[in-house]
Amino acid sequence: MIAQLVKYAGKLARAGLCAPGEPLLAALDAELSFSHADDPRQPLAERVILALGAGALLLAEPIGPCQGAMLALARRAVEEGRDCVLPGDCETRTFLHDLPVVRGLEAEGVIQALKRRKGCIILDETGGGRALMAAAGSVSPEQTFVTVSSMAFACFVAFFDQHLRAARAGTLTQARKAEFACVRAALEAELSRLPQTLPKLLPGPFTDADQARAAMTQAGRAVVEYGLVDSSFGNVSCRQQTPEGELLLISQTGSSLDELAGVIDPCRMDGSSCVGLTASSEYSAHKAVYDGGGARTILHGHPRFAVIVSMDCDKLDCPGLGECHRACAAPRAVCDPACGLSIPIVPGEVGTGPFGLCNTLPPALTDVGGGRGGPAAGSAVGAIVYGHGLFTTGKQDFRDAFATLFEVERFCRDEYFRRVAALGGA
């Protein structure tokens, strides 16, 4: 058990969300175990985990832009008389719902918050002030890792989204601008540590399902290493011909993209297998894309600024506000005429309902959907699902799909700051 605790504490550090050795993970099995010894938060963790009857508990202090974003959002919630932060991204809508804010490192407040939600923000105003995250899991330490990663992502997106919305509404104060400048500086320091050139991925076409699985495992790891997804979200798939028939190889639901070995499901394209029951929750959307076009691979990540830009709209009085993720009627896209980039933004919910991704996404990922112009036109296409993430496809391997994921996020980041500057929000 201790090895699992150390593993997930280390993954938070490698993702740049926390300092090495800082996250405290606790697990209750035959006895109570901790990821490391002599942490002053251990008595707090013990009280909380025993009171909840949980299997695992995680206490972690985010660093970099996530710390600044989470602290600002928590303080704003308290100032406005709210007991929670309300992000608007897809992960929050489907997984977190809201983020309770607890004032002070007191066990009872954390206990009550975690009885209501999977995770909470702890606002500690001692010293200069800081935000911490707490998450409980009923079964395993991995659950707490997923929750904390999602909380960090949600607060990052919410902070930058709310700043742009306030700039459009003309309600930014000098204090908010100064706060934004500090978080932006932390972001630039974080970005300088990420890879800046494309990875060398396996070229296709793949000769068999084993080679396709190896390529999927490599591509999934790269998406995480480049900061284009939280490891336990997003998905990857490949359409592969085999002697037994054509397969849709897809990452399993809840799998970590940086640990795909052994968790890739072989689903038959003709629908004659029930293996898809354990496949990604977006299996139906992947299959519909393959059925409708010439794609052989799909990458789905949650690049932060692609998500933020997808949520931006200058129609402040639109009667459909609040339902944008389900049925936005206005055609929207991320476009860069200089390089021929044209990526549609579509609504869509996880699942197969009338507003499900299996209905809204495939039309955008065909030859008449989004893509890149120039010499590479048609080699890869992509679409952003509102508040959710970016789907990209490749004709024979993951190289073009990854390049599109990488390029669109870089463009969206630059575009975001262009919009903020144009509105006087910088």
Domain with 392 in it? 209-422
- Which parts of the chain register pLDDT below 70? 231, 273-277, 367-380
- Give me Rg for the CA atoms of the chain: 21
When divided into structural domains, the chain yields a total of 2
Burial of 319 (0-12, 13-18, 19+ CB in 10 A): exposed
Whether residues 283 and 148 share a domain: the answer is no
Would residue 335 count as lying in a domain? Answer: yes
So what's the pLDDT on residue 125?
A: 95
Tokens of 73: 């959002």
- Token readout for 348 is 């869509």
Other CB atoms within 10 Å distance of the CB of residue 274: 9
pTM of the model as a whole: 0.93
| H or E element, residue 34 | strand 32-34
**What string of DSSP letters covers 141-196?**
HHHHHHHHHHHHHHHHHHHHHHHHHHHHHT---HHHHHHHHHHHHHHHHHHTTS--
Count of C-beta atoms within a 10 Å radius of residue 288: 20
State the DSSP code for 201: P
Token pair belonging to 375: 């010499």
| Per-residue pLDDT reduced to its tens digit, 191-230 | 999 999 999 999 999 999 999 999 999 999 999 999 999 7
**Is 199 inside a domain boundary?**
no
Residue 146 lies in a domain: yes
- Answer whether residue 25 is part of any domain: yes
Could you give the CA distance from residue 301 to residue 225 in angstroms, rounded to a whole number?
12
Query: Is 201 contained in some domain?
Result: no
Report the pLDDT value the prediction gives residue 231, as an integer from 0 to 100.
66
Q: What is the DSSP letter of 409?
A: H
Q: Which burial class, exposed, middle or buried, applies to 318 when counting CB atoms under 10 A from its CB (0-12, 13-18, 19+)?
A: middle
195 burial via Cβ count (<10 Å: 0-12, 13-18, 19+): exposed
Q: In CATH, what number is assigned to the domain containing residue 359?
A: 3.40.225.10
236 and 380, same domain (yes or no): yes
Q: Are residues 150 and 213 in the same domain?
A: no
Residue 41: burial class (beta carbons within 10 Å; 0-12, 13-18, 19+): middle
pLDDT value, residue 337: 86
Write down which residue in 163, 191, 219 finishes a domain: 191
248 falls within a domain: yes
